[in-house]
């Protein structure tokens, strides 16, 4: 299968602003009837549009997969001095215990319910749960981890790029046994200046300790808070393995 050759460097922290409280999902429909779906969540301050180009490149390798790119609601973000931007939940601080802090639980739970509703919509449209992958970048990766491993029916997989596990202290009690064997792909750059590499690695180790049995963590040397063609090729490989062509 061909590789992704176009350079993609998806940005640090704030890539674009959202002026409405809700923006419709971006849906990339494949050229044939889809037999699988990837739901991919953007990072803080971005939108579903911000990841459309990258997902189109993935779709070129996976023409049987539909890509759904939702946009988080606009909300005041504490670490940005209360300035409103698209986000999956408020972030109050970054610190050495970032992966263990309890953030805006109400916002996080609200976003989980939104993603659960998208999963349910896909299942009703004919895509079985075991052909649906949930993934994301940065805060979107955190929300994906939080959602996928609580889902009550086994999903096809979870992708977390440059992310971390929120509410990790509480998470073992929140996880659902049906998804402990769900394939997990995590990747993180060693030079990440926003979500520190150690936060991502410790989140992965925590999930394994909590019972996740089918996971892979990839260290990307010299990469910051971004995504590269090398990483996206690994994501495409993961998608092909977990929801192969039918």
Q: What is the DSSP string of 153-212?
A: S--SEEEEES---TTTTTHHHH--GGGTTS-EEEEEETT-SSS-HHHHHHHHHHHHHHT-
155 touches 133 (CB < 8 A): yes
Active site residue 192: yes
Contact 147, 176 (CB under 8 A): no
Q: What secondary structure does DSSP assign to 47-67, as a single string?
A: -GGGGHHHHHHHHHH-TTEEE
Instruction: Out of 11, 86, 138, 168, pick the active-site residue.
Output: 138
Taking the C-alpha atoms of residue 152 and residue 121, their distance in angstroms, rounded to an integer, is 15
- Closest C-alpha among 40, 44, 68 to residue 232: 40
203: tokens are: 């989140």
Which pairing describes strands 132-137 and 74-77: parallel, antiparallel, or unpaired? unpaired
Q: Is 225 a catalytic residue?
A: yes
Name the active-site residue from 46, 192, 202, 203: 192
Active site residues: 138, 192, 225
């Amino acid at each position: 299968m061909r590789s992704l050759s176009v350079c993609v460097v998806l940005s640090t922290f704030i890539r674009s602003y959202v002026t409405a409280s809700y923006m419709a999902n971006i849906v990339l429909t494949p050229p044939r009837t889809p037999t699988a779906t990837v739901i991919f969540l953007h990072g803080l301050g971005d939108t579903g549009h911000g990841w459309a180009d990258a997902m189109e490149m993935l779709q070129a390798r996976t023409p049987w997969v539909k890509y759904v790119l939702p946009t988080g609601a606009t909300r005041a973000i504490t670490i940005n001095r209360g300035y409103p931007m698209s986000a999956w939940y408020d972030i109050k601080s970054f610190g050495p215990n970032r992966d263990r802090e309890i953030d805006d639980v109400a916002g996080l739970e609200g976003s989980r319910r939104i993603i659960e509703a998208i999963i349910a919509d896909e299942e009703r449209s004919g895509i079985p749960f075991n052909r649906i992958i949930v993934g994301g970048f940065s805060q979107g990766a955190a929300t994906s981890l939080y959602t996928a491993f609580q889902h009550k029916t086994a999903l096809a997989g979870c992708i977390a790029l440059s992310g971390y596990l929120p509410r990790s202290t509480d998470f073992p009690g929140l996880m659902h046994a049906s998804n402990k064997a769900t394939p997990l792909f995590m990747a993180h750059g060693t030079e990440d200046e926003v979500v520190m590499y150690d936060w991502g690695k410790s989140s992965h180790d925590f999930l394994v300790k909590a019972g996740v049995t089918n996971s892979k963590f990839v260290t990307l040397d010299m990469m910051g808070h971004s995504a590269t063609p090398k990483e996206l090729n690994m994501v495409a490989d993961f998608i092909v393995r977990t929801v192969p062509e039918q």
